[in-house]
Amino acid sequence: MRLRIAAGNWKMNMDYDEGRELAHAIIKETKPQPGTLTILGTPYIHLKDMVEMAGRNSEVKIAAQNCHQEASGAFTGEISVGMLTSIGVEYVILGHSERRQYFRESNELLSKKADAAIKGGMKPIFCCGEALEIRNEGWHERYVKNQLVKGIFHLEKDDFLKVIIAYEPIWAIGTGVTASPEQAQEMHRMIRLAIAERYDEATAEQTTILYGGSVKPGNARELFAQPDVDGGLVGGASLKAESFLPIIEALSQSRV
C-alpha cells in the first residue's frame, strides 16, 4: 500500500507567530490514520520549531520548499540539504512551477537538486505540470513525462522510491480552477505508467503521486477518490486550519 499524503505549501506566507499558531492548530487536530501523512511545507524561519512541534505527532512531517544542489559554499541566500537535515527536516519540495518560472529552475538543475536531497537523506516532493497553452495544444502528457525523465528518472530504483511526485497543472495553481477528477486521474495514470515503463510495476504501484492545483475542502474528497491520486499538495487552502484540516480528513475518507 502506498502512502497517502496531504501536504501544505505555505509558500512565502506566515510570519513567525502566525506560523506557530497554524502549525499548532493542525498538529493538535491531526489524528493517526494508518498509511497517511500530513506534511507542512513552511518557510525556513519555521522549520526548526515545526520539526519540534511535529515531533510529538508522528503523522506530521515537515518540508522545506527548496534546497541548493551543492553541499556548501559561496551561494548567498541559499540553503543546503545538510543544513535542513541538521534540524531534522525530512522532506523538500523541488521544482514547484513558481521556482521553475521565477527562479529559472530547469529540469537539469532539478535533477541535481534531487540527487543532493537523496544523497543527504531527504525525500523530495518533485513537482511537474503543464501550462494551459501546452494542454490546449494537446502535448501535456509528453511535456510532463519529459519533466520526469529529465528531473528524476535518472535515479536508481532504490533512490527513486524515496521520491513523491506532485502533478500540479500550472493553470490550476492559485487560480481557483481545479482539474476535474477525470483530468487528474488521466495524468496520474500516465505518470504511473511512465514509472512502470522506466522502472517496473511494483515501483509504480509504490510511488505516491499527489495532485496540486486549487484543492479545497469542497473538491478534495472527489479528487482523492481517484485510483491514482494519492493525496494533494495544497497551497492557499493550507494557510488556514479550517480549510486544511477537512482536506486531511478527506484523505482518509476518500479511499478504503
Instruction: Give the residues lining the site for ligand PEP (CB under 6 A).
Output: 9, 168, 173-174, 212-215, 233-237
Shortest Å distance, C-beta 156 to ligand PEP? 28
From the CB of residue 250, how many other CB atoms can be counted at a distance below 10 Å? 24
| C-beta of 97 vs 185, nearer to ligand PEP | 97
Measured distance CA(159)–CA(198) in Å, rounded: 13
Tell me which residue has its CB nearest to ligand PEP: 235
Among candidate residues 96, 105, 188, 249, the one labeled active-site is: 96
| C-beta of 6 vs 173, nearer to ligand PEP | 173
Q: Say whether 68 is catalytic.
A: no
| C-beta of 191 vs 234, nearer to ligand PEP | 234
Shortest Å distance, C-beta 23 to ligand PEP? 18
Shortest Å distance, C-beta 7 to ligand PEP? 9
Rg (alpha carbons) of the chain, rounded to whole number: 17
Shortest Å distance, C-beta 83 to ligand PEP? 23
Task: Show the 3-state SS of 22-82.
Answer: HHHHHHHHCCCCCCEEEEEECCHHHHHHHHHHHCCCCCEEEEECCCCCCCCCCCCCCCCHH
| Residue 21 amino acid letter | E
| C-beta of 204 vs 247, nearer to ligand PEP | 247
Among candidate residues 98, 105, 130, 168, the one labeled active-site is: 168
Residue keyed to cell 528518472 = 153
Nearest Cα neighbor of 88 from 116, 45, 65, 121 is 121
32 phi-psi bin (left φ>0, alpha ψ -120 to 50, beta other): beta
Q: Say whether 24 is catalytic.
A: no
Task: Catalogue the active-site residues.
Answer: 96, 168
